[in-house]
Amino acid sequence: MDEYDVVVVGGGPGGAMAAKTAADKGLKTVFLERGRKPGDKNSSGCGLGQRWWKDYPELMEKIMELPSARKVEMVVINLLDEHDRLRYKSGTTGSDLCANRWRGGMEGVSVYRKDLDPFLAGLAESAGAELRTSTLVSDVMMDDGAVTGVKTGDGESIKAGVVIAADGGMSTMARKAGMRNRWGGGCTLVPQLDFSCDEKKMDDVIGNAEWVWFGPLYGTYQVNFRDGFHIGAGQWLRPDWDEKPLDMMKKLVQMPPFQAMCRSIDAKPREYQAHLLPWLKKPPKTYTSGMMLVGDAAGFPCPLEAEGIWHAVTSGKVAAETAAWALSSGDVSERKLSDYERRWKASDLGKEHEFGEEFVNLWNASIFDPEGMKRQVQLLLEFSMLHPFSIVFDWGDAHMDCFNQHLDHMLDLLPEFGDFGKTYLVPLARGIWPKNVKHVLLMAKPRIPVLKHLSDETYFKVMARFSRKLAPFLDPAAKQEAPLPRGSL
Ligand SMILES: Cc1cc2nc3c(=O)[nH]c(=O)nc-3n(C[C@H](O)[C@H](O)[C@H](O)COP(=O)(O)OP(=O)(O)OC[C@H]3O[C@@H](n4cnc5c(N)ncnc54)[C@H](O)[C@@H]3O)c2cc1C
């Protein structure tokens, strides 16, 4: 029987990074992939955001060079009304100056998984990990409740010091080890359609951008590659949703503005898939004796918009580091491996899930609520008409009257959203940095006659007494940048 320090199940982003990290640490490592090669299935959109420049700059440099890569400098939001007419188009953060937080500015990248996964797997192999493809893992080996290795579909047993399960949302490993049977709510099925396109026309029409389409019934992302794109629509697996994934996809491709875009870049449908994606308020338990779960197997995708590749790579790294530490002490018990959870909760990965419940609830009550979405689009459209650039082009009346008519209508619509705001937006306020709250209060101070002569410290004390909601932000002991202790899940 073959024996390794670390056996990684899955050759996706999480598995490759776990294998690379384990091999870098000098551990005898194998990673097992059921596909003929990593990325075989070409699943998922695969847009990688700006934070890759912060955490993995050397990788990002090389990913930008992969054949299917298209730079992403902004996200274009297309807003459709109840008749599927394109009514509003806007872009997120158009300037590097807005968010030049780290090298790369606003730059992200989109790349097909058939390029990304082999690239990441190659890094693991270069570090010394062994990759076995066309190897389906069908079971875990257990001894006295502890995972001690894996069994392949061909009947081979492979012994492991530690198993890292990176086998995706359906994780056979998690189920076979008795960690869970089903996700139990919160998973979504993403129907997706891939198109081939004319590269030059894409450059002209799409540019360096991701696109999204929002409107009644639709919350659709469009990830644009060098000469093709995916669209995908998240859909909760819930009984009160009467749309079937394929029907929903058919409706999407029939939207006239979408068809116009397709015509202009010679888009031709190429492949239809539907994938399960864990989209959870918080990940369930991620370790057991002898085994850790990473990436989708652990339920890590972002609870707001289900980005998951950074999460897979990051958790793969943390899991392999934990494995090296546990193996060096000769103890891979459940208690020892619980340190994995402590570590990821203390990292940016943990921070991502601190607002999991609020984000999932917000999404559920907006993008995934067709009736609510109809009214929200109306509100957003009125709101957009108050923008100075829009009011210049409203010739329905005298400009000031136009402004007032839109304001009037928006104010009429607003009370309906009072409950929505109270339920879904106010809970997010606790995430605002105390230093930003103080900044706003200091801007108001000179305008408050009685308070303007107080020292800043006394002023904050008065404000804290005046409002219980403000008090936690004004407590001198409160953290300046991160209001919540990391890992407070
Ligand atoms: C439609 C869609 C669009 C998405 N778009 C984006 C996006 O734009 N950006 C982003 O960051 N995230 C996106 N995500 C999420 C992202 O794809 C996942 O979070 C990410 O792929 C998780 O990586 P992973 O390594 O954990 O799992 P996976 O990518 O699922 O990899 C698992 C690997 O394990 C292999 N495997 C599975 N079972 C076995 C087994 N029993 N034996 C051997 N091998 C096995 C599989 O073949 C696969 O190669 C999207 C997801 C979907 C479904």
2-46+112-183+281-352 in CATH: which number? 3.50.50.60
Q: Enter the DSSP assignment of 208.
A: S
Hey, which residues does 291 pair with through a beta bridge? 163, 288
Fold of 187-278: D-Amino Acid Oxidase; Chain A, domain 2 (3.30.9)
pLDDT tens-place values along the chain, 489 residues long: 899 999 999 999 999 999 999 999 999 999 999 999 999 876 677 889 888 988 999 999 999 999 999 999 888 999 998 888 999 888 876 555 555 566 666 688 999 999 999 999 999 999 999 999 999 999 999 999 999 999 999 999 999 999 999 999 999 999 999 998 877 667 888 888 999 999 999 999 999 999 999 887 778 899 999 999 999 887 666 655 666 778 888 888 999 999 999 999 999 999 998 888 898 888 999 999 999 999 999 999 999 888 999 999 999 999 999 999 999 999 999 999 999 999 999 999 999 899 999 998 898 888 888 788 888 888 888 888 888 888 888 899 999 999 999 999 999 988 888 888 889 998 998 899 898 999 999 999 999 998 999 999 999 999 998 888 888 888 766 554 444 443 334
H helix runs in 104-228, sequence order? 113-126, 172-176, 199-205
Calpha distance 121→13 (Å, rounded): 8
CA 463 – ligand 1 centroid, Å: 48
Cα 276 to averaged position of ligand 1 atoms, centre (Å): 9
Q: Output the residue whose Cα is nearest ligand 1's atom 3.
A: 44
Whether 216 and 82 have beta carbons less than 8 Å apart is answered as yes
Helix (H, G, I), strand (E, B) or coil at 222: strand
295 lines ligand 1 (CB under 6 A): yes
- Alpha carbon nearest to ligand 1 atom 29, residue: 12
Give the residue, out of 34, 41, 44, 172, with the most ligand 1 atoms within 8 A of its beta carbon, to mutate for a pocket test.
44
Q: Is the CB of 11 under 6 A from ligand 1?
A: yes
- Going from the Cα of 312 to the center of ligand 1, the distance in angstroms, rounded, reads 8
Kindly report the pTM of this predicted structure.
0.91
Q: Is 230 helix (H, G, I), strand (E, B) or coil?
A: strand
Sequence spans of domains, the chain: 2-46+112-183+281-352, 187-278, 355-431, 432-489
| End-to-end alpha carbon distance in the chain | 41
CB of residue 280 inside a 6 A radius of ligand 1: no
Classify the C-alpha dihedral 63-69-75-77 as positive or negative: negative
CA of 69 to the centre of ligand 1 (A): 18
Closest ligand 1 atom to residue 192 Cα is: 1
